Homo-oligomer: A and B are copies of this chain.
Amino acid sequence: MIITRKDFEEYELRYRTTFINSLSGYRQAFLIGTRSGDGFSNLAIFNSLVHIGASPALYGFVCRPDTIRRDTLNNILETGQYTINYIKSSDYKKAHQTSAKYDREISEFTACGFSEEYVPEFHAPFVKEAPVKIAMQLQQKTDIQLNGTILIIGSVERIEMDDTLLHEDGFVNLTSADVLACSGLDAYYEPKMKGRLAYAKANQETKNIPGY
């Protein structure tokens, strides 16, 4: 089937949101942990992690200022710190539940069944149950004028994960920790690895990296 811009611009709003969002494909599901200056912790699921660069190590994510995830954004802008926590695939319902509208005074950690964990000299809470925990420091807020969304870019400051996830060439094997993937606003996946491929060279056959 062919769907033109004219077609989908006539779709009913919720149908259209589901369509355009799920069409954009598979992504990393992650929980952002924050804490306000006055000590209220917050946890919210996001799905727009973007690798910006490795040197310096920068990750971005996109958010809308007018959604229920506003607490996350406010806390990051106020404190400069946040955590990225990957989700065990068996925790997908608890993680999804963080997208519900809770009052600012209610911590989604408690409401959704996750445990807060802190490390010295870092203000934002980690998710104790997360197989990968990343401490982030805000570096840049970029306003996207086209539709009022915001790209938040932060530097990777600290990573905690099981030793076995890190392979000998630096590759992080998320499948061995059952890390959850997602698409759209409500679909969750367990990826199964097909393989890793060696650096591609023109006029040479594509080769698998042994062991994957």
Residues of A within 8 A of B (CB): 1-5, 8, 11, 13-28, 30, 48-60, 62, 64, 86, 89, 92-94, 96-102, 106, 111, 132, 134, 139-140, 142, 144-147, 149, 151, 153, 155-163, 166, 169-175, 179-181, 183-184, 186-202, 204, 206, 209, 212
Contact = CB atoms under 8 A, between A and B. Distances in A.
B151 A146 contact: no
A49 B24 contact: yes
B89 A22 contact: no
Given A189-B175, A193-B189, A197-B188, A170 B22 contact: yes
A146 B52 contact: yes
A24 B194 CA distance: 18
B101 A201 contact: yes
Contact of A102 (B2, B101, B202): B202
Contacts of A99: 200
A156 B209 CA distance: 36
A201 B172 CA distance: 34
B28 A26 contact: yes
Contacts of A94: 206
